[in-house]
Structure 1
């Protein structure tokens, strides 16, 4: 990656009257701490070419110092006593679903909306730059999907989408917001209050859309089978937000193979229920490389991993 922080530093603060405990500020704070710590060496744009263990871990890294002139890039070899896998996650590509992403201008993802709110402070339609009057959030795009063999819940999407919807509604109260969902998942002591408020402020439809079509003026028609009314339904919106799944980071499989680790069936390195991996000593996992987590959970898990590494090194 060309920068530190992954997707977390692209997330917007979701505070309205008070802190929403979304974790976005925590990510910014931790990033600043790392950058200004003289004991931490940072290599962005680095590619791990090889790693093997013969007592210690020996590895080769290629540094992409110049993306235009590849001849100016350089590599080096080094060794370490422990390795932390922190390969993170990738967002599911919603092009694989019949929702018109990258075809219809006003179909965006939750990550697109995060960046939009962080930069602009308000939601705007990509088609004309104007605020939408009517927004639909479609949950579980790419997760809990047997056709894709993505059976896991991405865990944070419901709470994150509800908080962003609340930000939009607070800044433009006349906005009509609808959620399409399988069921609402959340964690944390504040989630239940968030959900109860959402049910009062937003329309909640327990159904996943079949298709999305473009209509006049770049508006979008959603069709679905409403499980409550037991009838087919369709409605037109100004903008549709797809809450996409977390899938394993692009480098997770390759690094796991180098380290002799067997990933879970999901492709993540370990399950959320079990705090171990199948690999050789000295290999540790941090954050979303293991399983879908919130920002706060990722930071907490990374701190625990750092302590585990310190204890491991001290015992050597």
Structure 2
């Protein structure tokens, strides 16, 4: 029955099916990144300034003289648009752009997904406590969320990144290296907690006065049982709608931080750092910056489409 219901849903919601198909392609590319690198014979993390590549039966240098009249400086080889090494050309370090795109997808999607999950867990906990307990608990948590809400998102993220990037962090037995992905995951998750906690708190307050909750309270059910058995299952719909939207925001934040060299650290790649690498090649080899930008746009649009479809479906169910 669940499978038939899912098939019927996607027949009615072709946009959701297209969005999931696009996300599946991107996720598959991220998972298969090491296989692609081994197949075409490139190392996306190592510079190849003195390397060569086979083009139309002729071996050419990866870094070639510029096309300006004086032929000063070097430009990376352009895209071949065919399966094989350097299908999308090389960056300023002579690294394969296509392979780094796939490895960048691994980092960007992992950080965005993990940060969104952590953010929703923290937001759900804060929203439940504030909305159900009320009183001074609600006042304290709401004021803390207001403080986080008042700080500009990217300014807050950059400030946290500047403090943490470049320094080892220790929490008792836990030790984080400066290049650990847990740092951008934690930072991005924290800055978006107010955006998810506010609607969850409002939904929890409305559910706290619902008839089925009052009936459970009248039967002597404990607060913990009411929250876990009565409120949380209904609240899951709100969290489900928020999930793709928060993940899209987390992806944009990760890309911005990595573009500023405050997220994923070199030689590792993410879509944001790839755009940064292509900034100086925008006139000679624009694909270096455009390709990861297109990947970000497609991912965010797909996530937003999923969120819109989920919200519309839940509204339709509420009217029935």
- Structure 1 length-normalised TM: 0.28
In proportion to residue count, which structure has more helix?
2
In proportion to residue count, which structure has more strand?
1
